[in-house]
Amino acid sequence: MAFTAKSASETKAADLASALVRIADREGAPVGIGVDQLRRGNPRLTPLAIGQMYRKHRDILEAALAERGYVLIDYTDQGPGRGMEFEIGSS
């Protein structure tokens, strides 16, 4: 298996996926995960980065969740200052 380098955004998407999985493991599914919970676990995950990673690398997020038995039910982004939330369920 050949090594393929990841871009910075792919690495950050993997960080986001890891944070979502950790929270879902701790809280149990179904669970709503807001940006504040994600930032407590990884301060590099700014609201802007979270939104970009969802739009750009949704496949990475869904694959990481599926690997642990979770599914991304919904993602809500109501704009700056209004909040965003991931809804995670069991597959």
Give the model's pLDDT for residue 81. 57
The DSSP bridge partners found for residue 48 are none
The predicted model scores a pTM of 0.83
Give the model's pLDDT for residue 50. 85
Query: Domain span at residue 70?
Result: 9-90
Looking at residue 77, which CATH number applies to its domain?
3.30.1370
Give the model's pLDDT for residue 44. 83
Structurally, the chain folds into a number of domains equal to: 1
Report how far apart, in Å, the C-alpha atoms of 28 and of each of 33, 54, 91 are.
11, 21, 12
Give the model's pLDDT for residue 80. 61
Please write the tens of the pLDDT for every residue from 58-71: 998 999 999 999 99
Query: Which helix (H) or strand (E) element contains residue 71?
Result: strand 70-77
Give the model's pLDDT for residue 69. 92
**Residues of the chain whose pLDDT is less than 70?**
1-5, 79-82
Residue 60 lies in a domain: yes
